Amino acid sequence: MSTLLDVKGLVAGYGGIPALHGVEFNLEEGGVTTLLGANGAGKTTTLRALCGMIRARGEATFAGKRLIGMQTEDIVRLGIAHVPEGRGTFTRMSVEENLQLGAMTRRNGSDIKQDIERVYDHFPRLRQRRAQQAGTLSGGEQQMLAIGRALMLRPRLMLLDEPSFGLAPLVVREMFHILAALNRDEKVSMLLVEQNASLALSLADTAYLLETGRIVTSGPAAQIREDEGVRRSYLGY
Amino acid sequence: MELLGQQILAGIATGAIYACMALAVVMIYQAIDHLNFAQGEMAMFSTFIAYQLMLWGLPYWVAFPITLIVSFIGGVLIDRVVFKPIHDAPILSHVVVFIALLAILNSTAGFIWDFTVKSFPSPFGSAPLFGSSLISAHQAGMIGVTLLLLVLLFVFFRYTRIGLSMRAAAANPASARLVGVRVGWMNALGWGMAAAIGAIAGILIAPVVFLEPNMMISILLYGFAGAVLGGLTSPAGAVLGGFLVGIVENLAGTFIPVIGGELKLPIALMLIVAVLVFKPSGLMGRTVVQRV
Ligand SMILES: Nc1ncnc2c1ncn2[C@@H]1O[C@H](COP(=O)(O)OP(=O)(O)OP(=O)(O)O)[C@@H](O)[C@H]1O
Ligand SMILES: [Mg+2]
């Protein structure tokens, strides 16, 4: 396996106050890497910095291309789909229009139609609501829509910011089954941020622990799961 | 009863002017989320460009498309040069720039073409339609063009990918970037289209009110009234609102004796205030259903 994303010395912040102090990690092609950390540790900020939503310094190399300094619109074209915290739904548009927007960088109309059907196969509830205004979907349905929209890019890498947020336990399980299937069958690499650490560690192969803007622990997911400190702080047993 | 019908017809004829302007107003509101106070002066300036081209001897149907193209480019340039740099500035900065733009266009037009009133040709002719003195061939043509524009815009925004991108960029720029929409260029495109629609409005209005640098000032207010009445988020609502403003203005002027010609403008303004108080989203504006 080769390295798909390599992050070194990533520094970013808001209004001159740094939130990341040199974050370092990497992600294997076809792998799932998870970033764990308490509220405010800088997980969301890391994802935002990687896709150019906030200014950052340091190095982030994706498939040989340097992301830092690139425009978000161009980063998307490299095949990086970000499912943001808060889901980023186009609330006034229909479910189907949201999915079409996800494919905005692609050209082939019949491929796009097929992919919309594929998303509906993953999430049948969205098919029933295809003409509904997206802002009126339930929280869980909006999360499905956000993931569906990201899939419409045919991404190489998905950045997932708390995909389980606000979902019922059963829906979370369903969602993670789908993510695991996408990773296995379609070779989509994933960078996963999660509050639910045990869930994240079950999907991921590699884990990093972020504390106030720095990576403090890293290793294979199975090993991190056994780590005494992680267990006490994040897994709760 | 016959008088009522006649006055409504006359109202629709005047309303076509407002509807056309309201459409341009809504167009830019969709793209940039602000009311463009310089919209009227942009339309006036475009009309002068058409006037100048015809003065140089170009036939109407050559001058017309050239004017649209020049206006489109002008709109894009205004966005790129003036508004893109202040994109994140507070709303008040935008208002100040709109007013500056208004003043600059107005006095530049006055400087180049002076303030004397000029007549402007109509492609439809000015003969009364079917011998009726209430609506002229030009006014009928104007109604037709406005409705045609409306249909074209509807199709563009509803069924084309670029129309969808433009809506996404206006509604949620951050998410639009995340799906790869080039938000800055969508804003510029919105400005260009609004300028071109404004040019059509100006060229159609000029034969009625005559061409001079101040021709659009009160018309823009009526256009705003129409747009607000119909709903700033709805092109169809804006056109309907424009016609309604024309009708209300005519009926009030005829049937309420104290309201002469002088009080027509306050009526339009009162309409704006009343709509904003009682139904802020306008008659056809979409109320955003949103979960919190
Ligand atoms: N828009 C913002 N403006 C200013 N400061 C911010 C902003 N967003 C985040 N921060 C700050 O940056 C730091 C890191 O925040 P971040 O959102 O990355 O945390 P997180 O790890 O995603 O937390 P959570 O698990 O709660 O989502 C926090 O101290 C936060 O207060
Ligand atoms: Mg977060």
Q: In chain B, which residues have their Cβ closer than 8 Å to the Cβ of A76?
A: 177-180
pLDDT digits (tens, 9 = 90+) for B217-262: 888 988 988 898 888 888 889 999 999 998 888 888 777 766 666 6
Least confident of A217-221, B34-38, B201-205, B274-278: B274-278
Residue in A84, A101, A133 closest to B168 by CB: A101
CA distances from B69 to B63, B133, B195 (A): 10, 35, 9
Q: What is the pLDDT of residue B83?
A: 87
**CATH code for position A50:** 3.40.50.300
Check whether residue A42 and residue A9 sit in a common domain: yes
What are the residues whose beta carbons fall under 8 Å from the beta carbon of B63, sequence distance 6 or more? B50, B53, B54
Do residues B287 and B281 touch, judged by C-beta distance below 8 A?
yes
What are the residues whose beta carbons fall under 8 Å from the beta carbon of B146, sequence distance 6 or more? B16, B19, B20, B23, B239, B242
Check whether residue A109 and residue A207 sit in a common domain: no
Check whether residue A168 and residue A61 sit in a common domain: yes
Q: What is the pLDDT of residue B291?
A: 44
Do residues B200 and B190 touch, judged by C-beta distance below 8 A?
no
Best substitution site from A23, A39, A45 to test ligand 1's pocket, by max atoms within 8 Å of Cβ? A45
User: Would you say residue A174 has pLDDT above 90?
Assistant: no
Task: Tell me if A139 CB under 6 Å of ligand 1.
Answer: no
Which residues have CB atoms below 5 A from the ion given as ligand 2?
A 44, 85
User: Would you say residue B205 has pLDDT above 60?
Assistant: yes
**C-alpha torsion B123→B127→B133→B137, nearest 10:** -30
A141 vs B260 pLDDT, higher one: A141
Least confident of A172-176, B10-14, B51-55, B61-65: B10-14
Q: Is A102 within 8 Å of chain B by CB?
A: yes
pLDDT digits (tens, 9 = 90+) for A77-103: 999 999 998 889 999 899 999 999 999
Contact A100 B183 (CB under 8 A): no
Mean pLDDT on A14-22:
92
User: Would you say residue B290 has pLDDT above 50?
Assistant: no
Do residues A36 and A207 touch, judged by C-beta distance below 8 A?
yes
From the CA of B93, how many Å to the nearest CA of chain A? 21
d(CA A139, CA A63): 34
Task: Tell me if A48 CB under 6 Å of ligand 1.
Answer: no
Contact A76 B174 (CB under 8 A): no
pLDDT digits (tens, 9 = 90+) for B150-168: 899 889 988 999 999 998 9
User: Would you say residue A119 has pLDDT above 80?
Assistant: yes
CATH of domain B2-124+133-278: 1.10.3470
User: Would you say residue B44 has pLDDT above 90?
Assistant: yes
Task: Tell me if A196 CB under 6 Å of ligand 1.
Answer: no
CA of A63 to the centre of ligand 1 (A): 28
Q: In chain A, which residues have their Cβ closer than 8 Å to the Cβ of B183?
A: 73
Q: What percent of chain A is modeled with pLDDT above 90? A: 76
Ligand minimally distant from the alpha carbon of residue A39: 1
Is residue A181 included in any domain, yes or no? no
Q: What is the pLDDT of residue A237?
A: 58
Check whether residue A46 and residue A101 sit in a common domain: no
Do residues B36 and B220 touch, judged by C-beta distance below 8 A?
no
Confidence tier at B34 by pLDDT (50, 70, 90): confident
Nearest to B287 by CA among A136, A101, A86: A136
pLDDT digits (tens, 9 = 90+) for A188-215: 999 999 988 889 999 999 999 999 999 9
Q: Is B171 within 8 Å of chain A by CB?
A: yes
Is residue A182 included in any domain, yes or no? no
Mean pLDDT of chain B: 86
pLDDT digits (tens, 9 = 90+) for B1-12: 677 888 888 888
The structure tokens 């900065």 sit at: B93
Structural domain total, chain A? 2
Kindly list the domain boundaries of chain B, sorted by start residue. Answer: 2-124+133-278
Check whether residue A162 and residue A58 sit in a common domain: yes
Confidence tier at B131 by pLDDT (50, 70, 90): low
- Structural domain boundaries enclosing A101: 88-153
Least confident of A29-43, B27-41, B164-178, B261-275: B261-275
Q: What is the pLDDT of residue B292?
A: 39
pLDDT digits (tens, 9 = 90+) for B68-104: 999 999 999 999 999 888 888 888 888 899 999 999 9
Is residue A221 included in any domain, yes or no? yes
ipTM of the complex: 0.92
Q: What is the pTM of this model?
A: 0.87
